[in-house]
Chains A and B, each alone.
Chain A
Amino acid sequence: MSAPGGRAASSPLLGRAAEPTIFDLSVPGRRAASFRTTGMPEWPAEQLVPASELRPEPVPLAEVSERDLVAHMTRLSHRQYSVDLGAYPLGSCTMKYNPKVCDEAAALPGLLAVHPATPPAYAQGWLELMWSLAHALCRVTAMDAASLQPPAGAAGELTGLLLMRAYHRGNGRSPHKVLIPDSAHGTNPASVTLAGYQAVSVPSGPQGVVELGTLRRYLDDDVAGMMLTNPNTLGLFETEVASLAEAVHGCGGLMYYDGANLNAILGVARPGDMGFDIVHMNLHKTFAVPHGGGGPGAGPVAVTRALAPLLPGPVPARLEDGSFTWLVPERSIGRAHGWHGNALALARAWAYILANGADGLKRVSEVAVLNANWLLSRLRGVYTVPFDRPPMHEVVVSARGAGGDARPGRHGAGLRAVDVAKRLLEEGFHSPTVYFPLIVPEALMIEPTETESPETVAALADALVAIARQGPGPAAGAAPRTTPIGRVDEAGAARSLVATWDQG
């Protein structure tokens, strides 16, 4: 087999000296900034700002040359793992390769340099892009209308739940509870609380999915709705979803689709056809918008016809003459963003959808699921598979059984998930998501994504197998030893908090 393109073990992370901070590099009087020639009168500050408001001294920032700034940031960048460097199999986070053509598109001056208050007649390109994207997302999800405003998945969740609330109030109801499976992302219950609802956890069944019989025990007319990720965070398709939806609808509730794992079912199945009423999508997962080290993302919300008049506005609309404008839905819950959402992230997603098209998007999901299944076939028998059914786009295994005994209470011989994660760094791969979902002890949640080659998936599997075979011990506990720093004392950092250079 050829060498794995996604293994980063050759990365020359030079040296293990600490990088000074920008403040350590500061020299009084040194500067990088320069400003354009404007010909403006040069009034002094004292004539421009009332004395009572004027600060006597400038804000102390850093004083560095452009050269030192570039060197500092470049050295920091060399201390940072990224998708461009190698495979990043964080389950649920969907760290697939981000096509460069999307970066270039988002950097076009005609998109980048447009003020958000530009009148629609002068922003037709942006409006057409947003309108087209909203429509494409509705087709992917079988929804009827969308708002692109929410700037991230969790913001989409809160927006979606507020739509649920507005829908019930419009019907003169005010139920209090939202049902969430115990495998759900933490953002689900946090968003439910922010929306003023009470989160009620529904246990997953022995097959790793929510069962209708269990759900029925939680249903009454105080249920506003149910949030479901499908496939769920165990990587399993919720096979009973249609009957779950029917039951929730039966007691007046709505079905909320958490789109974190939408990338598994593009062109294969659609949330609307499963009975969902509200869908949020993480464009930075499914549609390859880069994560930026923790954002910006984008979390559009799409809904069925019944909820469309409630969407946050304004939304892009097409007029009869083919031109585009902003329209506020008639019973809009109001703005969910200061402007129009994370527009540049939306542009990247649109470029990605154009490039892939209907056929390409389906291929994305097919190969994401193929890679996950193939990976699991290589881990089975080495790691414990708590819910051993054919997975969708990601697999969840337990480190507890690896090299030890998986039975409850007998974890002495088992590996810890954190040790596997740190050992994997030494093998040239980023680690999977660990300790999630919460219902699996020592969980490793692995999502290879469709952009990693079979060689890379095989090498990742081989590394995980080797780590398990090596088992727990001093080597595992001391990892990682090849990274710029060793294992971080996270408890110590929390105990004696230093959150700025000035506190250090």
Chain B
Amino acid sequence: MASYVPHTDQDLARMLSDLGLADLDQLFASVPAALRLAGGLDLPPGRPEPDVAAEMARLAGRNRAAEELVCFAGGGAYDHDVPAVTRALAARSEFVTAYTPYQPEVAQGVLQALFEYQTLVSRLAGLPVANASLYDGATATVEAVNLATAATGRKAAWVSEGVNPRWREVLATLTAGNGTQLVEVPLRDGRTDWAALGPGPDGPPPGALVVASPNYLGCIDPLGPARAAADAAGALLIVAFDPVAAGLLRTPGEQGADVAVAEGQPLGTPLSFGGPYLGMFAVAQAHVRRLPGRLVGRGHDIEGRTAYVSTLRAREQDIRREKASSNICTNQTLVAIAAMVQLAWLGTAGLRELALRCARGTRYARESLLGLPSVRPLVSAPVVREFALELPRAPEVVVERMAEEGFLAGLPVSTEGREGLLVAVTEKRSRAEVDAYVQAMEKVLA
């Protein structure tokens, strides 16, 4: 078996002898005999490294990667190109094998990278302060709602049905204990219908309104009406945005968001079967002291040199314990560093070009598919990087049949009682791939 324990038999014997012990078992004398596991763990014996690599390769071989199953699925996970430089820098073991930067004097690398990440996220969101990352878009939404209910002292949130349905489910799961009442606000033709609630539903007034733009159907959901609804209700506005579409769209901040969250996976993180991803989180200045997670600040060492350090630590669970603004300890630093590298590699012009290329592919694929008989838009609101179509067959069946044709066709979605297929086209998809996809779709729908 592979072993990462350096001790020789002589080492063990000498150390035990130093401690006056006869064998390793005596180290566990404080474990009551009744609790001792007789016979060892019911697991196979350890294996040598090449066998481990072979077994992992066997498992990997049982999946159809995006290379083979050409990916037109999005829904919060996007098949973007990740350049060699991002892979190489995010794989540097100084970043990979570091711990949370508790000793800033020997952690300036991670701290400065996070400071630069925070700056980039702040600019994408159009809000002054961003934290050093959360787990993913879903849990960032949960933290945003918790921030808003704490800031307003109100125990309800109105959540647009345009927010990713899996994120809404996570929100419902993780706020089940703290008494937050969630009210879903319906979509009408792809946009949130804030008026649908009338003068306000029964129950407590909301501390937060949550809206996504682009939303789960790919539509731009105008933030003006969302801000107006938040003002009318006296609530904070939480906006879930897309960091790639951000290359073309006005920021959540300039449109009145109090908190902006995003799934950061599209920025340099492979599909990875859904994780680790990256929760991006930015706030207006007023909410800095309720920020969940870590925050890096720039200051000085005692000799006046520039220094980066985890700051406003008094918010955090290890100090404030049951009164903490969040329970976050470990977050997603390495994924944040990958996003920072990816954004620097893209640069000012590159992010815009990336967004533009996604939008062009999206337009081309959407128009091509709408050329097929009985294929209609599911909704009519404008889209950027993802779109939903109403098909003449059940979307689940279409996904299954398209997989046989070599395509991951998209995700089944529903809105206003109708079902559709959600299709994403990134800069990685060529015109030839889209044409082949459309041909396969024609065959599947025939």
Contacts and interface: CB of A to CB of B under 8 A. Distances in A.
B231 interface: no
Contact of A48 (B60, B323, B356, B430): B356
Contact of A194 (B40, B46, B101, B178): B178
Contacts of B45: 357-360
Contacts of B36: 268-269
A259 interface: no
B41 A140 contact: yes
A197 B166 CA distance: 25
A291 B99 contact: yes
Contacts of B335: 292, 295-296
Interface in A111-131: 111-119, 121-126, 128-129
A79 B30 contact: no
B270 A494 contact: no
A189 interface: yes
Contact of A361 (B43, B66, B120, B296): B43
B343 A61 contact: yes
B360 A42 contact: yes
Interface stretch (B109-117, B192-200, B386-394): B109-117
Interface in A423-441: 425, 430-431, 433, 436
6 contacts: A70-B85, A122-B63, A199-B322, A291-B100, A338-B138, A338-B274
Given A60-B348, A73-B89, A425-B106, A269 B71 contact: no
A390 B305 contact: no
B2 A295 contact: no
The interface centre, meaning the residue of B81, B99, B249 with most chain A CB atoms within 10 A of its CB, is B99
A206 to B, nearest CB: 15
Contacts of B360: 40-43, 48
A239 B356 CA distance: 63
B177 interface: yes
A248 interface: no
B22 interface: no
B148 interface: no
Given A242-B32, A293-B337, A58 B94 contact: no
B32 A357 contact: no
Interface string B113-127: 101101110111000
B6 A488 contact: no
B188 interface: no
B65 A99 contact: no
A273 B347 CA distance: 55
Given A99-B4, A345-B275, A48 B359 contact: yes
Contact of B275 (A107, A267, A339, A392): A339
A227 B135 CA distance: 23
A196 interface: yes
A55 interface: yes
Contacts of B220: 49-50, 53
B65 A114 contact: yes
A363 B63 CA distance: 33
Interface string B352-376: 1110110111011000000000000
Contacts of B61: 110, 125
A317 interface: no
B64 A114 contact: yes
The interface centre, meaning the residue of B118, B250, B263, B307 with most chain A CB atoms within 10 A of its CB, is B307
Nearest to A297: B330
Contact of B271 (A108, A115, A338): A115
A485 B326 CA distance: 30
B270 A113 contact: yes
B343 A112 contact: no
B286 interface: no
A389 B29 CA distance: 11
Nearest to A88: B99
B275 A370 contact: no
Contacts of B273: 111, 114-116, 118, 123, 126, 339-340, 343-344
Contact of A109 (B65, B85, B124, B133): B65
Interface in A280-312: 282, 284, 288, 290-297, 312
Contacts of A355: 1-2, 46-49, 52
Given A266-B41, A268-B31, A390-B27, 10 more contacts: A18-B305, A38-B427, A111-B56, A335-B166, A336-B173, A337-B170, A354-B56, A366-B27, A493-B297, A499-B297
A341 B275 contact: yes
A106 B51 CA distance: 15
Contact of B31 (A84, A118, A136, A269): A269
Interface string B416-437: 0000000000011111100000
B277 A338 contact: yes
B76 A338 contact: yes
A497 B311 CA distance: 8
A330 interface: no
A484 B1 contact: no
The interface centre, meaning the residue of B49, B107, B169 with most chain A CB atoms within 10 A of its CB, is B107
Contacts of A119: 399-400, 403
Contact of B384 (A49, A110, A431, A485): A49
A290 B97 contact: yes
Interface stretch (A27-35, A215-223, A404-412, A468-476): A27-35
Contacts of A284: 330
A59 interface: yes
A14 interface: no
A292 B15 contact: no
B386 to A, nearest CB: 13
A187 interface: yes
A128 B272 contact: no
A63 interface: yes
A126 B62 CA distance: 8
Interface in A58-90: 58-64, 66, 69-70, 73-74, 76-85, 88, 90
Contact of B12 (A370, A430, A493): A370
B394 to A, nearest CB: 14
A338 B300 contact: no
